[in-house]
Amino acid sequence: MRNVIFLGFVCLLTLAASAQQNNNSSPDAAGAGATASTSDREPLASPRSKDFWDGDDPNLVNLITHPFANKKYVQRQVTPIRDRIHELEQITSENSQLIKDVDTRAQQGIQLASEKTSMADQHAGEASNQAQLAQTAANEASARVATAEQIVGGLDQYKGSAQAEIRFRPGQTVLSKSAKDALDEMAEPLKDQRGFIIEVRGFSSGHGQLAISSSQKMSESVVRYLVLNHQIPLFRIYVTNLGNASVAGEQTSAKPARGGRVEVNVLKNDLSASN
């Protein structure tokens, strides 16, 4: 009877040792395949038992159930896999966060580029408006220059608008009433006007310096009346004393009139007419 029990015990030991060797060979093959993979991470380490019992109590129950239904054995096999799964989940979360950050930066870059483009378009529009304003100002300046050239060209172009002849008796230099009336009629429209000059030319009978002096006194009477009674600026009056000389182009009579006369001409510039 003891021999039968001993033989049965030996058979159980043989079966347990064979199963242990099969388990040891399978993780080695899985480790070799993981080493050959392209992953940069270390492969899962195969469990290495310290002895046949692998920490279990050496009793008959553990001998019959080991290693197929032992809870500790299963935990030792599953724990590295669970740790690796947890590590992969952490890496996946980190990668997701990195992708999210990259996408956020890309969106910010796109928005910034869009804002820059809008700003560039706005500046281009403003530059176009400034160019149009500059062109308009240039056209206005060109028109003003043309007008100024026309005005400058007509500054010395005067035309006669009124004329009066003041007669004096021989030896007389005082203005008569009819002479004053003629000067009033001529000077009254000139009030508050610009762009005109008054030409005063004195003539007198006689000869030489005496005739010139006499014509000067008559001209001074006319100028004095215009300045004092009509506030004509003195710089607008031009006086020429000719004595008994005749003006070129004028028809003279055979016998010059006795006494003297003063011719008063109002000359206006075309600029004043245009204004």
- 3-state SS class at 53: coil
Q: Which of 170, 15, 117, 186 is nearest to 178 (CA)?
A: 186
Q: Is the pLDDT score of 51 beyond 60? A: no
Quote the pLDDT of residue 141: 86
Q: How many domains does the chain have?
A: 2
Give the pLDDT score at 252.
46
Predicted pLDDT of residue 181? 92
Percent of the chain scoring above 70 in pLDDT: 63
**What's the pLDDT score for residue 163?**
87
Q: Which residues lie below 8 Å from residue 111, measured CB to CB, with a gap of 6+?
A: none
Give the whole-angstrom CA distance, residue 153 versus residue 146.
11
The boundaries of the domain holding residue 56 are: 2-69
pLDDT of residue 226: 93
Q: How many residues does the chain have?
A: 275
Residue 244, pLDDT score: 85
In a domain, 128, yes or no: no
CB atoms within 10 A of CB 65: 13
Helix extents (H) in 60-154: 60-65, 71-153
* pLDDT value at residue 46: 55
**Of 69, 97, 118, the domain-final residue:** 69
Decide which of 69 and 203 is more confident.
203
What is the spatial order of strands in the sheet that 237-243 belongs to?
A: 158-168, 260-269, 196-204, 237-243
Residues 168 and 268 occupy one common structural domain? yes
Among 51-55, 158-162, 258-262, 268-272, where is mean pLDDT lowest?
Answer: 51-55
**Considering the domain boundaries, does residue 50 fall inside one?**
yes
Q: What is the pLDDT of residue 203?
A: 93
Encode pLDDT of 207-228 as tens digits: 888 889 999 999 999 999 999 9
Q: Quick one: which H or E segment has residue 165?
A: strand 158-168
54, 69, 84 - which closes a domain: 69
- Please tell me whether residues 65 and 163 are part of one structural domain: no
Residue 28: per-residue pLDDT:
47
The reply to whether 148 falls in a domain is no
Which has the higher per-residue pLDDT, 153 or 206? 206
84 located within any domain: no
In the numeric block, the tokens 């979360």 are attached to 93
In a domain, 64, yes or no: yes
Q: Which of 9, 53, 45 is nearest to 28 (CA)?
A: 45
What are 104-146's pLDDT values in tens digits? 999 999 999 999 999 999 999 999 999 999 999 999 988 888 7
Whether 110 is in a domain gets the answer: no
Residue of 208, 198, 269, 177 lying closest to 240 (CA atoms): 198
Q: Find the CATH number of the domain harbouring 230.
A: 3.30.1330.60
Weakest-pLDDT range from 74-88, 99-113, 183-197:
74-88
> Has residue 36 got a pLDDT over 80?
no
Query: 206 in the Ramachandran plot: left (φ > 0), alpha (ψ -120 to 50) or beta?
Result: left
18-27, 112-121, 186-195: lowest mean pLDDT where? 18-27
* Whole-number pLDDT of residue 185: 92
- In the predicted model, what is the mean pLDDT of the chain? 76
How many whole angstroms separate alpha carbon 268 and alpha carbon 160?
Answer: 6
Q: Which of 33-47, 68-82, 132-146, 205-219 has the lowest mean pLDDT?
A: 33-47
37 domain residue, yes or no: yes
Q: What is the 3-state secondary structure (H, E, C) of 166-205?
A: EEECCCCCCCCHHHHHHHHHHHHHHCCCCCEEEEEEEEEC
What would the two tokens of residue 22 be? 């099969």
Last residue of a domain, one of 11, 45, 69: 69
